[in-house]
Amino acid sequence: MAVEMTRAGATIVLRLSNGPVNALSVGNGFVEELGAKVGEAASDPACRAIVIAGAGRMFCGGADIGDFDGDPEQVDRLRHLIATVEACAKPVIMAIHGMALGGGLELAMAGHYRVAQAGSRLGLPEVTLGLLPGAGGTQRLPRLIGAGAALDMMLSGKPVTAERALSAGLVDQLVDGDVVEAALEVARNVPPLRRSGTLPVPADLAGAVASRRAKLRAGLSQAPARIVDCVAALSGDLAAGLALEAALFGELLRSEASRGLRHAFFGERTVARIPGLAPDVRPRDVGHVGVVGGGLMGTGIALALLNAGLPVTVAELRPEALAKAEATICKTIQRDVEKGRIGQDVADARIAAFTAATELEALAHADLVIEAVFEDMGVKKQVFSALDAIARPDAILASNTSTLDLDAIAALVADPSRVVGLHFFSPANIMRLLEVVRGRETAPDVLATAMALGKRIGKVGVVSGVCDGFIGNRMFEEYLRQVWFMLEEGALPQQIDAAMERWGMAMGPCRTMDLAGQDIGWAIRKRRMAEQPDRPYSGVIDRICELGRFGQKTGKGIYAYPDGRTAETDPEITRLIEDYSAETGLERRAFSDEEIVGRCLLALVNEGARIVEEGIAYRPVDVDMIYIHGYGFGRERGGPMFQADIMGLSTVLDRLRALAAGRNGWAWTPAPLIERLAAKGGRFGDLNIQDRNSI
């Protein structure tokens, strides 16, 4: 039984037990069963009160998000359950431990009394899915804690502690011990019924609504604005408020933003599963990590590991670089203390766990060694040859390479099965993506260990096979190819960046490359132009690099940076671009934002499809998660492959064929996977739930 029903004297205890988070699932009958048990207890003449508690580690993690893609009426059944609880003629006491989130908190608010265990957390995170609390949360929470506090909770989506919930009035009692026993004690006294839906409209309603509405920012998701609309509708007529809430929830549920955010939510969980990995494969224990290289990337990687509580040794052969790395690590950790993120004791422990060394021999006892030296195959081969002789035979050897052939690197090691790629994104202590590269010989437990490490240090790990650029940078090459082509055809950098940022990218491509360093892209282009002469790039970006304009670090790139940070349009670059077009005989033309976004997006989609078909990515959703977490692709947009499904693959194919008939059409040859899926009316999303062999 998903709802355990027991009796304690005159009180009936209903304990939720539906998976690890006690989700309020409609599809599997859990909500219906809970409603039936509440009705049974309410009609039992020997029962004087009801306690609802959660089994396992929490009270309730909320509604089952999987239900949102089914019949919309399923949400109505959850609303009916909550109304049944609130209308119960016998006191219903909620015993909250662990977490009460989303629909779980809405259920708790329908109770007549709430007891919470110290340390538990309560929240309504629906806004992070492009939704609003759709089971009474917008109408009950403001009545309990005031409109301003309620709006802040719902608009941020962040949970509050039980201690804060007590002071706000969201819970009635806080206990250190057994929360069910405490709730039973309340039940024995048969407290009066206090239905949150009948409480008066809060006095701060008008001011709170006006101030929060004024702070709303434009964006694809309308959830924040609709939350404010629901709270503004608070009145003595609860039914009217609930009806508006339900209608607006349904509107948001169908929106692109919510669909994209839900895709990202499930995607982060999907990419953690490695297809074909035997169930008995277990990650190795990692207790000490070595990092080779004390540059920007090595320093960031060390910080990410230290912040997760791992002892780290950084080996850097240049004393001045090592001293700089050590100073940066200590300064960054101390800054977290100053900002209130950690206590001084935690900071001291992290600094104590850091060791600086000027020789590779200091890494001899590490369980895992991560190479983070310059992106040059010769340099990396030297490091791995040395590590093979120094590191323990069972130590995992990882490379942070972003484009190079991991199999060629692994060939320098006697046992290539212990080599894996760990491609961090800069700054490595902040960016959430970790591209885990499986080499031809990488052992299953080594791959599992890399993914487990990613999770431990707070990263979204995504597995990639070996190819030039792996998943993310291979696609980014095609994205940039079109950006540079559009510059020579008539667009300007500021227009391209503005169009992409308005659409949902965190940063436009020209600003991104100025930040990363135009010299890095230039070096990669030189290598690839030699290796792939049949895939030419525009020469306009090379003209900029030939002037020594490498971006922020040189004060000038595509943009000028007078203060070292802020991008300003530079007339010199505008003239250079226009002169290049004239030299190459191109008549410049106007570009719309729609064309800019379309070309950039289709370039990503087409290359992403090739990557999936080649098995470099397990699933299309792997591509989406890489772009959301590593390349600033708007989470509300769901990722490039998700966007292709929204457009429809037949439409995508038609647009690719049209572009293939034009200038530089070779770059637009449709990926065979797109052609096959479009022919049968398929979607990339179908491949996220099927075995790859069915592609």
> Among all residues, which ones are annotated catalytic?
106, 126
Burial, 176: exposed, middle or buried (Cβ in 10 Å; 0-12, 13-18, 19+)? exposed
28/34 Cα distance (integer angstroms) = 12
Distance of CA 324 to the CA centre of its chain: 31
Length of the chain: 695
DSSP annotation of 200: P
| DSSP H or E segment with residue 307 | helix 296-307
Q: Is the dihedral of CA 469, 475, 480, 482 positive or negative?
A: positive
669/638 Cα distance (integer angstroms) = 24
Q: What are phi and psi of 11, to 5 degrees?
A: -110, 135
Bridge partners of residue 123, in order along the sequence: 101
Looking from the CA of 396 toward its CB, the CA atoms found within 13 Å total 29
89/532 Cα distance (integer angstroms) = 76
Buried b (16+ CB within 10 A) or exposed e, 73-90: ebbebbbebbbbbbebeb
Task: Give the helix, strand, coil percentages of the chain, each rounded to 5.
Answer: 50, 10, 35
Give yes or no for a contact between 167 and 161, defined as CB atoms under 8 angstroms apart.
no
Say which residues have a Cβ less than 8 Å from residue 234's Cβ, sequence separation at least 6. Answer: 139, 142, 143, 147, 201, 202, 205, 241
Alpha carbon distances (Å) from 234 to 126, 141, 155, 202, 686: 19, 11, 17, 9, 42
Three-state SS at 87: helix
How many other C-beta atoms are found inside a 10 Å radius of the C-beta of residue 218?
A: 6
